[in-house]
Amino acid sequence: MPDDVTPLVDDPRTVGSAVGYSGRTAVLATKHGKRGLIGPAMSGVLGIEVEGVGVDTDQFGTFSGEIPRTLSDLDCGIAKARLAMRERGSDLGMASEGTFGPHPEVPWLTTDRELVVLVDDRLDHVFWECAMSSEITAITETVGSDADLTSLAVRADLPRHAVIVRPAVPSPGPGHGVEPMVYKGIRQSSDLASAVHASCAAAGTHQAVVTTDFRAHCCPSRQVVIAAAAERLAHRVASSCRECGAAGWGTVDTIRGVPCRWCGRHVPVVRAEIDGCWNCGIRIERSVGEADADPGTCVTCNP
């Protein structure tokens, strides 16, 4: 597991709520081999058997950009899970959704946030957890036909990871009677060269855009984060509320704001987490981190 994946904190309240799930089957919406990433934690912690269902999750958005994601990551995960549930007539469904963007505190780093959901229609509730990591292979480069593709392949970590190549100016897409030109799942240098040359020829700028293919089966550095999120989810579902005994006790909110160690200015880092129960509503604040902030995170001391 990457060093900066949010660690799972052992919780003494992890008790027998898992008994209610032992022997049940959850259908997992996936086109890209996520069962092997999510299934072990759900089976090992909760006794849930995970069945992969190859439904069309691309309708909710694609990393290659042909279909934009219009839902939040949570709503998208729920929609995917429910698609698999309808397909199999199941009351227990799962899905995951990844989001890539700047690190919230170190914006020049790309961060992968993976969310995994468990939709339980018997309880009429959705459990979810996420994990984050900046140890993700992520490139986006615009190149010409004469680019040094050998060094690009190294930066993209080919063939362990795969890339997507498209013309720098998008070709006509749906609605124009022509499918957009997108080359996916490229791992070999020879295929990269062919896709770059074809894309450059198709673009008025004579350039191609090369990006990491973030689909789970093409991105091993993402796979680790999905597995971490699944483990966090499994342990959360197995954690019981101290008041009502409902499954799913865990963090529901955070409180930010501590003084800078040098100047005393408010720094928006996490000061406390609030644990809570979705069923009875109890909330308990728990202090985390330091009482003051590293000056390196202060916009006054480190502009």
Share of residues in the chain with pLDDT > 70 (%)? 90
Q: Regarding the domain with residue range 1-137+219-239, which homologous superfamily does it belong to in the CATH classification?
A: B12-dependent dehydatase associated subunit (3.40.50.10150)
User: For residue 50, what are the contacts with CB-CB under 8 A and spacing of at least 6?
Assistant: 25, 26, 27, 28, 35, 38, 39, 42, 43, 94
Closest by CA to 140, choosing from 166, 119, 121, is 166
What's the token pair of residue 110? Answer: 């790309």
Per DSSP, the three-state class of 244 is: coil
In angstroms, the first-to-last Cα distance of the chain is 32
CA torsion 43-8-267-301 (nearest 10°) is: -120
Residue 294 has what pLDDT?
92
Question: What's the average model confidence in pLDDT over 105-133?
Answer: 93
Question: What's the average model confidence in pLDDT over 41-52?
Answer: 97
What's the token pair of residue 202? Answer: 């198709």
- 66: pLDDT strictly greater than 80: yes
Tell me the HSE value of 243 on the side-chain side, using a 13 A CA sphere: 11
Residue 172 has what pLDDT?
52
Tell me the per-residue pLDDT of 123-170, one tens digit each, with 9 for 90 and over.
999 999 999 999 999 999 999 999 999 999 999 999 999 999 999 975
Tell me the per-residue pLDDT of 174-217, one tens digit each, with 9 for 90 and over.
544 445 789 999 999 999 999 999 999 999 889 999 999 999 99
Least confident of 98-107, 183-192, 226-235: 98-107
Distance between CA atoms of residues 237 and 174, nearest Å: 42
Tell me the per-residue pLDDT of 237-253, one tens digit each, with 9 for 90 and over.
999 999 999 999 999 99
Question: What's the average model confidence in pLDDT over 40-47?
Answer: 97
- 222: pLDDT strictly greater than 80: yes
Give the CA radius of gyration of the chain.
22
Strand partners, 93: 27, 119
Task: For the chain, give every domain's residue range.
Answer: 1-137+219-239, 140-213, 248-303
Q: Are 34 and 28 in contact (CB under 8 A)?
A: yes
- 15: pLDDT strictly greater than 90: no
- 271: pLDDT strictly greater than 80: yes
Distance between CA atoms of residues 190 and 172, nearest Å: 26
Residue carrying the six token digits 């989810």: 233
Q: What is the distance of C-alpha 155 from the center of its chain?
A: 22
- pTM here? 0.86
Least confident of 70-79, 117-126, 143-152, 290-299: 290-299
Tell me the HSE value of 109 on the side-chain side, using a 13 A CA sphere: 13
Distance between CA atoms of residues 60 and 205, nearest Å: 30
Give 88's pLDDT tier (boundaries 50, 70, 90).
very high
Question: What's the average model confidence in pLDDT over 254-282?
Answer: 94
